[in-house]
Each structure stands twice: as C-alpha cells, then as structure tokens.
Structure 1
C-alpha cells in the first residue's frame, strides 16, 4: 500500500511540475514536493526490499513464532499458547495447533547453521515453559 501511495505522490508531483506556469513565483515548492516524493520513494524501497539484508526470516519469541517469506509479503504469526505440538526436522518445523491445524515452517530460509540451532533450541525451551509436545527427528550431527 505504501508503494502505491508513493507512486501516486510521484505522479502527482510530476504532473504539477509539467503543468505549472513557469512565471509563477512559488514554483520552487513544486520542486520541493517532487524532491520529497523521490526521497520517500527511496525510503519505502529500502524499507521493503532486501538491499541491506534478507527480508525472509523466522523469529521465535516468548509470545509467538513468526515467519515472513519475503518482500511485500505478510507475516504468518503463530501464538505460543495455541501450539499443541511441534515436530522438528532438519528442514522444517511442523507445528500442530490445539484446533488440529498444522503449520509448516520452512527452515531452508535460515542461512546460518548457528541461527538454525538457536531457533530449534528456543522452540525446545518454549515447550518446557508452555507444556507442549516436541518431537525431534534431527540427528545430533546437525
């Protein structure tokens, strides 16, 4: 939505620049408006693209587990109290909710082995704290 509004702002600023009377005293305001639109456009692009990092991640906190697949995609949030069981495999977390639904979190998007182990250990710690079942098919060599 931000991108659409920013593109509309840019189009409006360009329209003002090209349709403005060249003899108008406050013509510099149109240039300032256009400059601000360009700056905001770059801000939105930097905020929502992976220029400075990866926008695809899995995050485990004491209240929820969140997975984001990439740029301009929604986050999938799983509340910790809703979890009945978690099955840990080398490439995924299979989460079973209390209502019977299953959610698969793809661990291939976690690039570092250390981060992968940290996620798995956080899930195990949360299982102890919130009393949900954890099964593990991961060998100790991972």
Structure 2
C-alpha cells in the first residue's frame, strides 16, 4: 500500500512539474514536492526489501539478545543477566525479566532452520551459565 501511494504521489508531482501550464513564480515548490516524492520512494523500497541484505534478525551473544525489525528501526537489547526465565516455543521465545516484565521474540523472522536451532541451543547453553529458568513447548523443565 505504501508503494502504491508513493507511486501516486510521484505521478502527481511529475504531472505538476512537467505540465505546460506552469506560469507561477513558485516553481521551486514543484521541484521540492517532486524531490520529496523520490526520497520517500527510496525510503519505502529500502524499508520493504532487502537491498542491503537481511535487516531483520535476532542475535544471541554471551551478554545480550538483540532483535531488529528492519533497516530504519532501532535494535531492542535484552541483557542476559536481566533474564529470570525463558519459555521456548516453535515460533517464539517468551522472556521473563527480573522485574517481572515479559518480552516476546518472534522467531518467524529467522529464515533458516539451522539458524533457528542455533538460537535455541544458545539460549539453552546460556541458561546453564546464568541460571535462569528454562522451559520448552512441552512444559518440561530443561
């Protein structure tokens, strides 16, 4: 939908800019309107495609878990020592923090099964190191 609206904006700006009936002294506004349409078109393309590679990911390190949703979105960091419990499901991780708040990490953004297994195994290994409670989808304690 964003792309359709952006293309409509670009067509309208082009029509205003290249029409033969321009007799105004404010032509710079048409150029600015057209330039903003092109800039927004590039923004929409960068946001919705993987021009610069995969920009949505989950990364698990020894000190934190980071989740990023796209090119221009901020990273969400969860420090491992702040985690009280983790519940692993096939498509999500439910993290309960020490302060009682819960964070859901959507594992659908992990594209490869190998990477998904690597994340889950890393979470299991970190549970032993940092002593947080870990449960899986079957409700079994690990």
**Which TM-score band applies after superposition, normalised by the shorter structure?**
0.5 to 0.7
Any unmatched runs of 5+ in structure 2?
Answer: 1-44
Q: What secondary structure, in the 3-state scheme, does the structure 2 residue paired with 1:84 have?
A: strand
Q: What secondary structure, in the 3-state scheme, does the structure 2 residue paired with 1:119 have?
A: helix
1:96 Cα shift?
Answer: 0.1
TM-score, normalising length: structure 2:
0.62
Q: What secondary structure, in the 3-state scheme, does the structure 1 residue paired with 2:120 have?
A: helix
Any unmatched runs of 5+ in structure 1?
Answer: 1-44
Cα distance in 1 for residues equivalent to 2:99 and 2:124 = 21
Cα distance in 2 for residues equivalent to 1:62 and 1:105 = 17
Detail structure 1 runs of 4+ shifted over 4 Å in the superposition: none
Match of 2:113 in 1: 113
1:71 Cα shift?
Answer: 1.2
| Count of aligned residue pairs for this structure pair | 93
Cα distance in 2 for residues equivalent to 1:92 and 1:53 = 23
RMSD (Å), alpha carbons: 1.8
1:52 Cα shift?
Answer: 3.5
Match of 1:59 in 2: 59
Provide, for residues 93-132 of structure 1, a one-character-per-residue CA deviation record: whole Å limited to 9, x for no partner: 0000000000000000000000000000000000000000
Determine whether 1:75 maps to 2:102.
no
Q: What secondary structure, in the 3-state scheme, does the structure 2 residue paired with 1:137 have?
A: coil
TM-score, normalising length: structure 1:
0.62
